[in-house]
Amino acid sequence: MWVSNNVITENKKALFDYEVIEEFEAGIVLIWSEVKSIRNGQVNLKWSYVTLHSGRPVLVGSHIAEYKWNTGIIVDPKRERLLLISKKEILRLSQKVKETSATLVPVSIYSKWNLFKVRVALAKWRKKWEKKNLLKERDLDRETRKIF
Q: How do residues 3-21 score in pLDDT, each as one tens digit? A: 446 889 999 888 888 888 9
- Say which amino acid occupies 101: S
Output the pLDDT for position 3.
43
CA distance 24 to 120: 6
Give the chain's mean pLDDT. 87
pTM above 0.85, yes or no: no
- Say which amino acid occupies 107: V
Range of weakest confidence among 46-55, 67-76, 111-120: 67-76
Domains delineated in the chain:
5-147 (2.40.280.10)
